[in-house]
A and B are shown apart, each in its own frame.
Chain A
Amino acid sequence: MASIALKSFVGLRQQVSTEKSHYFFTSQSQTKPPRKLKLQVLASKSSPRLTNRNLRVAVIGGGPAGGAAAETLAKGGIETYLIERKMDNCKPCGGAIPLCMVGEFDLPLDIIDRRVTKMKMISPSNVAVDIGQTLKPHEYIGMVRREVLDAYLRERAKDNGAEVINGLFLKMDVPKDGVSPYVLHYNGFDGKVGGVGEKRTLEVDAVIGADGANSRVAKAIDAGDYDYAIAFQERIKIPDDKMAYYEDLAEMYVGDDVSPDFYGWVFPKCDHVAVGTGTVTHKGDIKKFQLATRKRAKDKILGGKIIRVEAHPIPEHPRPRRLLGRVALVGDAAGYVTKCSGEGIYFAAKSGRMCAEAIVEGSENGKRMVDERDLRKYLEKWDKTYWPTYKVLDVLQKVFYRSNPAREAFVEMCADEYVQKMTFDSYLYKTVAPGNPLQDLKLAVNTIGSLVRANALKKEMDKLSV
């Protein structure tokens, strides 16, 4: 059994199926004929064929998760509905995306406002380290405006045949059996701004919940809660000469002053900077942390005007339930934001696509009914692919973001080229070449050194306050 080979995967699931090791749908391979042959073998044989129509799937929420899901569904021959309550929604977000997202989602270069090639990490004692030194000429972190990215992805879903509905999803009636439709209730706006809209219903065979952190779909399937961080962000228009510094540079501040468990940031946007911070543990103090972040960046944003203030929850971990019957959650609705970096756009889009692929596959391009087993394939693949990434970032955050000495050590560590290269490789491409054992060992020793020194100083500091 293949499960032996896979057992090493630290038990998200004890029983590992044989098929797990080869997935037939990857983003690029969707239409390759030989793979399709295999698909038929895999489809749930029990589920009935659909007659006179194709499978109908509704995607709730038109963020990156929803847009990506709807596009993949529509391309795969599914009758797709995408419900978004606000077409020009401008989700509060730093808007940083990894390089691989541009390629994997075929994003046109003109939606990327800025290409960040310098990333400054700034320690509590203001030691600044540029962690972008190892980037190759073509490598960068993309900065997008969410209203632009989201609209683009939705548009593309539409071009591929998805029906995009401007409406607020309210609730759904869950069928008792495995073939009856889910009945979705929503307020249709038809592009009209203001007003409560018109009550409508929609019958579908499956639902993808991509409606973000406050997901109503999650509520509808009783998916449970997650801890969340509150992120606060101010858009600040700064004088041109100051803006020049942020041309291709982003900053991350760490320290007890800016956040007890996360980081503060200054990200460049099209014509302004976004200054923000987040915390899980001390949400009530967020305003104070924001002030501190601004203060630490003060020299560089002096004379700026705040043009917008925004705040939003960021999930800390997945919901206890991410799937029930023919309803699956993706993106923030499921809780896929990494610790440490707080990254969620790429993972939202990726999970949306992966879930859609599972539905396309399970329904044989829309010809059969799907059931929970088909959707579970998405979860299996997701956890297998990304769980280690999430886990490691969780541990790193616990170790390095929790006290000032640790943060000092962290920044010291980031001055190391090897660390930079590894960090950027894994951020930009989400895959990493195996490290070099000797370098790893050196890194280990150096890290211990940094931690020990920073900690020794901390002890001295404690003594000082007597």
Chain B
Amino acid sequence: MSISLALFSPPTQPPLLFPSSPSTKPHLTLKPHLSLRPSKFLTTTKASAENGAGTSPTAATALEIQPDQKVAETPQQVVKKDESSVGVNGSAGAVETEEDKVLSQFVDPKWVVGTWDLSQFQKDGSTDWDAVIDAEARRRKWLEGNPETSSNDAPIVFDTSIIPWWAWIKRFHLPEAELLNGRAAMIGFFMAYLVDSLTGVGLVDQMGNFFCKTLLFVAVVGVLLIRKNEDLENLKKLLDETTFYDKQWQATWQDEKPGSSKN
């Protein structure tokens, strides 16, 4: 615990993306992806789910939009355009704006033609992968603050998979935990797969397609990892949000009048 806290600095990112509190095993978990943005999204959606016809502020505005189809979300005047007209504020203009002109580009002597020049990362005759990881983390961090134009002349060719797996493991002192996690996930996936093909029922069978497998897979991984971190709060939110989507689809069946359904 103490180690992880030391490693884990207070989140400087906007809290939306990584809402989870530091957990005992912060390294290499998948949790942040699966956890939800805590505030806005959920609350609005919930409101409209429970009250049926739009008490949710966002949704309500959507319907009040009147014949000329103004997109009337509050603060952004820019968006208030007749859908069929040319843009309201000034409309035609050059793509470049003042701030675009300040060209920012990530520069590092070890970053050569779109990748980390591994020859500059040699230490005692072998590549110092730790340093590569550090360097790439720094580059990504920098890019978050200074998004950069993508370019065909200078494509990014660096691929994190060139860093061998043991380098990650070593780096994040993961004796068994993460291995276990990975294994559990795989077993889960396999089991779901097996059950599915044996019984011949279930979602995968329904569609028999790749996406459903992905779905299953993601669900299994998510559940395993989240449980591992005892992050039940997040799990609950995830479930809430997921069921919310389902509810929207089912809602229309609920007001089916008794007896009005055929047979």
* Contact yes or no, B33 A306, CB < 8 A: no
Contact call B161/A392, Cβ cutoff below 8 A? no
Which of the residues B44, B74, B95, B143 comes within 8 Å of A304, measured between beta carbons? B95
B87 touches A281 (CB 8 A): no
Q: Is the CB of A228 within 8 A of B211?
A: no
Which chain A residues border B119 with CB–CB below 8 Å?
none
Closest chain B residue to A334 by CB distance? B252
**Can you list, as one digit per residue, whether each of B182-223 has a CB less than 8 Å from chain A (1) or not (0)?**
100110011001000000011101111111111101110110
Q: Is B241 an interface residue (CB 8 A)?
A: yes
Given the complex of chains A and B, what is the CA–CA distance between A393 and B214 in angstroms? 10
Are B9 and A284 in contact (CB-based, < 8 A)? no
Interface size class of A (residues with CB under 8 A): 35 or more
Contacts A128-B156, A311-B79; A461 near B248 (Cβ below 8 A) = no
**Cα A10 to Cα B136 with chains together (Å):** 43
Stretch of A98-106, A152-160, A252-260, A349-357 on the interface side = A252-260
CB pair A255–B147 under 8 Å, yes or no, is: yes
Interface residues of B in 203-254 (CB under 8 A from A): 203, 205-215, 217-219, 221-222, 238, 241-242, 245-246, 248-253
Judge if A286 is at the interface, Cβ distance under 8 Å: yes
8 Å CB contacts to B: which residues of A32-48? 44
CB distance from A342 to the nearest CB of B (A): 15
CB distance from B85 to the nearest CB of A (A): 9
- CB < 8 Å: which of B29, B152, B242 contacts A245? B152
A213 touches which one: B62, B79, B215 (CB < 8 A)?
Answer: B62
Min CB gap A177→B, angstroms? 14
Assess the B54–A128 pair: CB atoms within 8 A: no
Digitize B13-50: 1 where CB-to-A-CB distance is under 8 Å, 0 elsewhere. 10011100000001111101110010011001100100
Residues of B within 8 A of A85 (CB): 67
> Cβ of A54 < 8 Å from any Cβ of B?
no
Interchain CB contact under 8 A, A126 and B148:
yes
B225 to chain A, nearest CB (A): 10
- Given the complex, which residues of B lie within 8 Å of A168, measured CB to CB? 67
Residue among B66, B96, B155 facing the most chain A CB atoms (10 A cut-off): B96
Q: Which residue of A lies closest to B40 (CB)?
A: A281
Is A109 an interface position by the 8 A CB rule?
A: no
Contact flag A12-B253 (CB < 8 Å), given A298-B149, A302-B95, A310-B87? yes
Q: Is A319 located at the chain interface by the 8 A CB criterion?
A: yes
Contact B30 A455 (CB under 8 A): yes
List of A residues within 8 angstroms of B79 by Cβ: 230, 232, 283, 286-287, 311
Min CB distance, B190 to chain A, in Å?
7
Q: Mark B94-112, 1 if CB is under 8 A from A, else 0.
A: 1111001000000000000
The answer to the question of A379 belonging to the interface, with a C-beta cut-off of 8 Å to chain B, is yes
User: A381 in the interface, Cβ–Cβ < 8 Å?
Assistant: no
Chain B residues bordering chain A, tally (CB within 8 A): 129
Are B81 and A309 within 8 A (Cβ)?
Answer: yes
Is B83 touching A91 in the complex (CB atoms < 8 A)?
Answer: yes
B124 is an interface residue with CB less than 8 A from chain A: no
A392 to B: closest C-beta gap in Å: 4
User: Which residues 151-202 of B have a CB within 8 angstroms of A?
Assistant: 151-153, 155-156, 158-161, 163, 165, 168, 171-172, 178, 182, 185-186, 189-190, 193, 201-202
Contacting pair A127 B246 (CB below 8 A) = no
User: How far does the Cβ of B138 sit from chain A's closest Cβ, in whole Å?
Assistant: 6
Q: How far is the CB of B165 from chain A (nearest CB, A)?
A: 8
A224-243 to B contact mask, C-beta < 8 Å, 1/0: 11111010101010100000
Q: How far is the CB of A239 from chain B (nearest CB, A)?
A: 11
* Closest beta carbon of chain B to A174's beta carbon, Å: 15
Chain A residue at smallest Cβ distance from B157: A127
Residue A181 interfacial (CB < 8 Å): no
Whether A460 touches B139, Cβ cut-off 8 Å, given contacts A283-B73, A308-B87, A435-B209, is no
Tell me, in angstroms, the Cα distance from A324 to B222 when the chains sit together.
Answer: 38
Q: Is the CB of A404 within 8 A of B261?
A: no
CB <8 Å contact, B251 and A376: no
Which of A74-82, A135-143, A201-209, A439-447 forms contacts with chain B? Answer: A439-447
User: Cβ of B137 < 8 Å from any Cβ of A?
Assistant: yes
- 17 cross-chain CB contacts under 8 A: A7-B201, A10-B246, A17-B262, A255-B147, A281-B41, A284-B75, A284-B76, A286-B78, A304-B94, A312-B71, A388-B206, A388-B212, A403-B32, A422-B210, A445-B186, A462-B9, A462-B12
A sample of 11 more A-B contacts (CB under 8 A), given A12-B250, A298-B149, A457-B160, is A124-B144, A224-B48, A296-B149, A299-B149, A317-B249, A373-B261, A391-B245, A395-B219, A426-B211, A435-B213, A463-B137
A-B CB proximity, top 7 nearest: A309-B87, A460-B137, A225-B59, A225-B54, A320-B251, A422-B210, A432-B209
